[in-house]
Amino acid sequence: MKNLMKGISNLFSNYLWLFLALVASNTAMSTSEEAQTYIVHMDHSNKPASFSTHESWHRYILASLSSMQDTYKEETLLYSYNHVMHGFSARLTPSQLSELEKLPGHRATYRESYGKLFTTHTPKFLGLKHSSGLWPAASYGKDVIIGLLDTGIWPESSSFNDRGMTPVPERWKGVCENGTAFSPSNCNFKLIGARSFSKGLQAGGINISKDFDYDSPRDFEGHGTHTSSTAAGNSVITAGHFGYAKGTSRGVAPGARLAMYKVLWGQDTAKSAATDVLAGMDQAIADGVDIMSLSLGFDQTPYFNDVIAIASLSAIEKGIVVVCAAGNDGPSHNSTHNGAPWIITVGAGTVDRSFLGTLTLANGLTLEGISYFPESVYITNTPLYYGKNNTNKANCERSSLDPIEVTGKVVLCDNNPEGDVYSKISEVKRAGALAGIFLTDKLILDPEDYSMPSLVLEKSGGSLVRNYAMATNSSMVKEMKFVTTKLGIKPAPQAAYFSSRGPDPISPGVLKPDILAPGQDVLAAVAPNKPFMEVGIYSLVTDYALYSGTSMAAPHVAGVAALLKSVYRDWSPAAIRSAIMTTADATDNTHSTIRDSWTGLPATPLDFGAGHINPNKAMNPGLIYDIGFKDYVEFLCNLGYTDQQMSAVIRKNLWTCRDNSSDLNYPSFVVTASNVTTFPMVRNFTRVVTNVGDDNSIYRAISESPSGMRINIEPNTLNFTSKGQKQGFVVSVEINQKDQSSIYGYLKWVDQHNHVVSSPVVAITI
């Protein structure tokens, strides 16, 4: 790791949960004839044969609008879309829009919306090994192409070196754009595509060239560099974060290739326009990516209004796996984003690693506390200050400390109900103390908030120090030191407190999130173009940093999907998801149910989906629950959409809704009850599994259910004689009483070859 400023060798990052929460577009002033940006979905079968391309047809439509001024004809078209939908985006006045909506072939209109954003150790934590399992079987993801829709990429990062990689496959149609501080020569055999999309944002009045971002695929924010290196960074030795988390950094699929589609722009809170996201996804499909990873999202809205859902379904139809972050709106329930059933929706888990400082008191007591302070300073034999004469509490509220009393001392600050440690660090710093010890019940702090030597102690440790201070008039800190990384922390993983939880607001009957992956304190490459944090007079810069968010979890799953795609070229996106879900771990490293990091209590599938991803097991799932495009159409048939809404989602005029009661062949089960349900209630699910394991396999069904739930499987034995064979069964779930909270159990198919194909069965009241 390089440091670009002063002599401090570590740098830290912060919880950037740059999950893109789309804010409704109410920015345009609404004088009646003001132009606004719209996405217009057209039925391409209406294109007259005289137009050789869709774009020429789109331009013609726009130019022919009676109210269109000649001067606008050229500029009004932003993008012409060919893959995610047939249509375009343009600046239109209300009268132009209504004229357009009357044209034959008009399918749907969407108003522009704007959004803002939402591993050295992690691959090892996932169980990936060089000697056996998925890494060697998949040749580390060789020749699979992962496209990321993000803030851009810092191509010089060591994580994107192409050591050991072969020339770009001929099927690849992508390019590396020229632009500000970026040229095609920045690409190599690892980074094989880099494009940027900002027309929509600029049409909305945002000047991206002005102290805002690089007008090119280069990453200003750092987020896209982080997600890219997490998914497929090559190995880099001595990556670290100001000394924390040192080791070898490598992506989940270090042999896979990367293509960046920059659709998020800006510095601290990157923004994006729906038109640009759609253009990026359209291009990624055209270029030939195998996997798409989106650490962004929009406000939850029905699928016929959700451009990511529509574009993803188009990608899925072409066999492209789409992985999306679930959002950072936890721990509230009903908060998942990107929950369409064709998307792999990823929640964030903690990893088994802590960042610590150590405190030794004059009485010999030694304690470890949480600290991300980036310098290995030592504090020795310093008075401890805990209010006047150590008899009063020191709340360290704003302006409460007297510099004369605390200068040169270590200040001990009490817990307050809000758990706001950030403002206390500021106060201790303002008053000129040497260091701070902060007692808290609930810690919400970003790594870069540790801008002075600080140690955070949770409950029991805190009361030991408090008791010592109150019992002694001349209490002293013998020693404080920083920069310790501790592995093997238990319990881990936990569902990170910020990770969005199910049920899904749009389709509560499909369990979301699907899966948990590492998303808290993930170390990966960042853009070393700006200070990461300030410590005293120093601005610290780093090229590897710890970020947290479901943004960080999604690229882990994209990497695992790339590895699986490398082993099983013919698997559908749903088969890959099924393998990941049915082999996930619902237990932590203490063999208990994964906990919720917010409450410390056992979490449920509404928090962790099928469980925490286990890549080596996903390589050999035994059975898969496959789903094809037609099945998703059937699913949509049951939502009661109008014909126009249906055609807007599936981009076709003809479809058949065969069977209104058919279930999506999903690898998890949700029984929904409402306040009018009478109990006991029974819900039957039909499923079909495909044998991808051994030829002769006999599976027996095992059900695990809590009181109040009964799971019956018919037949309860599946006898396969060859690979590829399919067998159907019915799962009958009986719920005996109304339950305030959710209850859940499991259906597991177990064969004689040690395959365990596990699915959560959840009952919720909506």
Ligand X SMILES: *[C@@H]1O[C@H](CO)[C@@H](O)[C@H](O)[C@H]1NC(C)=O
Site residues (CB under 6 A) for ligand X?
178-180, 183, 207, 209-210, 300, 334, 388-389, 471, 473, 505, 638, 640, 660, 675-676, 682, 684, 698, 712, 714, 719, 721, 730, 732, 766
Q: One-letter amino acid identity for 342?
A: W
CA 189/CA 670 separation, integer angstroms: 44
What minimum distance in Å lies between the beta carbon of 471 and ligand X? 6
Q: Is 223 a catalytic residue?
A: yes
How far is 107 from 38, CA to CA, in rounded Å?
Answer: 13
The torsion of the CA quartet 11, 17, 20, 26, rounded to 10 degrees, works out to -90
Distance between CA atoms of 100 and 53, rounded to whole angstroms? 19
Could you tell me the smallest distance in angstroms from the CB atom of residue 714 to ligand X? 4
3-state secondary structure string, 142-202?
CCCEEEEEECCECCCCHHHCCCCCCCCCCCCCCCECCECCECHHHCCCCEEEEEECCHHHH
C-alpha 526, offset from chain centre = 17
User: Considering beta carbons, is residue 131 or 678 the nearer one to ligand X?
Assistant: 678
DSSP SS3 for 31: coil
Residue 291 burial (C-beta neighbours within 10 Å; 0-12, 13-18, 19+): buried
Sheet containing 36-42: order of strands = 77-81, 87-92, 36-42, 106-111
- Residue 9 or 742: the one with the smaller Cβ distance to ligand X is 742
In angstroms, what CA-CA distances link 397 with 105, 404, 451, 559?
Answer: 63, 17, 17, 45
Q: What region does 565 belong to: left with phi over 0, alpha with psi -120 to 50, or beta?
A: alpha
The nearer residue to ligand X, 263 or 506, going by C-beta atoms, is 506
Which pair of tokens denotes residue 184?
């095609």
Torsional sign, CA 209, 178, 554, 350: negative
CB 190 within 8 A of CB 251: no
**Nearer to ligand X (CB atom), residue 131 or residue 675:** 675
| Least Å from the CB of residue 731 to ligand X | 8
Q: How many CB atoms lie within 10 A of CB 403?
A: 10
Closest CB to ligand X among residues 366, 677:
677
Rg (CA), the chain: 27
Least CB distance to ligand X at residue 392 (A): 8
Of the candidates 537, 497, 489, the residue with the CA atom closest to the CA atom of residue 516 = 497
Dihedral over Cα of 495, 498, 504, 508: its sign: positive
Nearer to ligand X, 169 or 715 (CB): 715
Q: Identify the three-state secondary structure at position 443.
A: coil
Shortest Å, Cβ 289 to ligand X: 24
Q: Angle formed by the axes of helices 550-567 and 223-232, to 10°?
A: 30
Can you say how many angstroms the Cα of residue 99 is from the centroid of all Cα atoms in its chain?
Answer: 40
Considering the candidates 58, 83, 121, 223, report the single residue annotated as catalytic.
Answer: 223
Least Å distance between CB 501 and ligand X?
Answer: 11
Give the nearer residue to ligand X in terms of CB position, either 572 or 638.
Answer: 638
- Indicate the SS3 state at residue 732: strand
Give the residue with the Cβ less far from ligand X, 180 or 188: 180
Q: Rounded to the nearest whole angstrom, what is the least distance from the CB of residue 540 to ligand X in the complex? A: 29
**Residue 52 vs 473, nearer CB to ligand X:** 473
- Please give the single-letter amino acid code of residue 617: K
For the CB of residue 498, give the shortest distance to ligand X in the complex, in Å. Answer: 17
Q: Which of 43, 150, 514, 543 is catalytic?
A: 150
The sheet with strand 709-714 has its strands ordered as 623-624, 681-691, 726-735, 709-714
In angstroms, the CA 425 to CA 209 distance is: 36
d(CA 683, CA 731): 8
Residues 557, 614: Cα–Cα separation, whole Å: 10
Q: Indicate which residue of 314, 551, 597, 758 is catalytic.
A: 551
Residue by residue, DSSP assigns 110-122 as EE--EEE----SH
Q: Closest separation between CB of residue 297 and ligand X, Å?
A: 12
Nearer to ligand X, 339 or 760 (CB): 339
CB of 308 to ligand X, least distance (A): 16
CA angle 460/465/467 to nearest 5° reads: 95
13 an active-site residue?
Answer: no
- Amino acid in position 253: A
Distance of closest approach, residue 212 Cβ to ligand X, in angstroms: 9
Q: How far apart are CA 240 and CA 524, in angstroms?
A: 9
CB of 720 to ligand X, least distance (A): 8
- Of 31 and 474, the one with the shorter C-beta distance to ligand X is 474
Whether 337 is catalytic is no
Q: Of the two residues 139 and 180, which places its CB atom closer to ligand X in the complex?
A: 180
Q: Which residues are catalytic?
A: 150, 223, 551
